[in-house]
């Protein structure tokens, strides 16, 4: 398994709008990627936002990050306070 991880900082007060936009735009892209297994969005009290998408293989995680980063660039500018960082890696340990 591999995970695609994206992290950013939101502008204060924008979390609800970001959640709705992600539900309508980014999530369908992610879940349509072959090998998709799970998705998590974590909102920190400090306006940090981390998303983790889990896939069966590295190629799927990389494809998802590329697609979602392009979507973020087109749709999330008004809501983010810092550039979004993306990475992917092998899931070394997990417990369902």
**pLDDT value for 68:** 96
Q: What is the pLDDT along the chain (96 residues), one digit of tens a residue?
A: 999 999 999 999 999 999 999 999 999 999 999 999 999 999 999 999 999 999 999 999 999 999 999 999 999 999 999 999 999 999 999 998
Give a yes or no: residue 64 inside a domain.
yes
In a domain, 96, yes or no: no
Is 28 inside any structural domain? yes
Residue 29 lies in a domain: yes
CATH at 82: 3.30.70.100
Does residue 18 lie in a domain region? yes
In the chain, the number of structural domains is 1
95 is a domain residue: no
Is 58:88 a contact under the CB 8 Å cutoff?
A: yes
CA angle, 56 as apex, 51 and 60 as ends, to 5°? 65
Cβ atoms of 47 and 15 within 8 Å: the answer is yes
pTM over 0.85: yes
pLDDT of residue 96: 85
Rounded distance, CA 46 to CA 1, Å? 30
Residue range(s) defining the domain that contains residue 38: 2-90
**Contact between 86 and 66 (Cβ < 8 Å):** no
Report how far residue 38's alpha carbon sits from residue 40's, in angstroms, rounded to the nearest whole number.
Answer: 7
60 located within any domain:
yes
* Model pLDDT, residue 74: 97
């Amino acid at each position: 398994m591999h995970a695609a991880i994206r992290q950013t900082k939101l502008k204060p007060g924008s979390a609800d709008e970001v959640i709705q936009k992600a539900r309508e735009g980014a999530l369908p892209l992610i879940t349509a990627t072959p090998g998709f297994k799970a998705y998590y969005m974590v909102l920190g009290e400090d306006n940090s936002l981390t998303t983790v998408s889990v896939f069966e293989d590295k190629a799927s995680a990389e494809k998802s990050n590329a697609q979602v980063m392009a979507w973020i660039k087109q749709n999330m500018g008004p809501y983010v306070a810092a550039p979004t960082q993306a990475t992917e890696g092998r899931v070394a340990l997990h417990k369902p």
